Amino acid sequence: MLKVKMSLLVLIFLLGMLFLRKVAFSQSDDINFTVKSSEEALDLALKYTGFGEMEGFSIENNFDKAELAVINDDKTPFLHDRINGRKIWRVTFKDVKLSLPSHPDEVDEYSRVFKIFLDPGNGQLLKITAPYLGKEIDFLPEPGAERAESELSGSKDVYQDFVEWDNHASFYDALNSYGTLKVKEISASLVKMPAGADKDVVDVWSITFRGISPRHIKGRGGDSVPVYGRNFVRNVYNAKSGKLMHWTSMPRPDPKDTVYLNR
Partner 1 sequence: MKKRHIEYTLICLVFMVLSILFFNGCDDKPSASGLHNVSHAGTELDDCYERVKLRFSESNQGTRVYWIGIEKNSKILAHGEGIWLTGGFSNVVHYIDVNYTHNLIFGNKYDYYVYACSNKNKVGNIGAASSRAGPIPLQLSSQWNYSDCYKTCCTEGRKYTQLQNDISGLNGLEARIKTRYGKVCSEGVGPDDGFGVVNCSLKKTNQPMWGQIGYGYERYHDWVIQTIYYWYWEVKESGPIPRYRYEDFCCPLLPLEGDVHLYRCELDETNGLWKFFMDDTINWVDTVYSADWFVTAGLAVISGEILNFEDDMAGTFSDKCHITDCRYRISGQGFQNFYLQSNHFVSDDLNEWGIQRVSGNAFNIWDKNPQP
> Please, which residue, 42 or 245, has the CB nearer to partner 1?
245
256 binds partner 1 (CB under 8 A): no
Indicate which single residue of 56, 121, 144, 229 sits in contact with partner 1 (rule: CB under 8 A).
Answer: 229
Residues 6+ apart with CB under 8 A from 24: none
The C-alpha atoms of residue 205 and residue 224 are separated, in whole angstroms, by 31
Neighbours of 24 (CB within 10 A): 9
CB 255 → partner 1: shortest distance, Å?
6
The C-alpha atoms of residue 19 and residue 12 are separated, in whole angstroms, by 10
Neighbours of 88 (CB within 10 A): 23
Indicate which single residue of 65, 94, 243, 263 sits in contact with partner 1 (rule: CB under 8 A).
Answer: 243
Indicate which single residue of 81, 223, 240, 260 sits in contact with partner 1 (rule: CB under 8 A).
Answer: 223
**DSSP letter string, 74-136:** ---TTTGGGTTTSEEEEEEEEEE----TTSTT----S-EEEEEEE-TTT--EEEEEE---SS-
Indicate which single residue of 71, 113, 137, 244 sits in contact with partner 1 (rule: CB under 8 A).
Answer: 244
155 binds partner 1 (CB under 8 A): yes
* 219 DSSP assignment: S
146 binds partner 1 (CB under 8 A): no
> Please, which residue, 137 or 212, has the CB nearer to partner 1?
212
Contacting residues toward partner 1, per CB under 8 A: 101-102, 104-107, 140, 151, 154-156, 178-182, 196-199, 212-213, 215-226, 228-230, 238, 241, 243-250, 252-253, 255
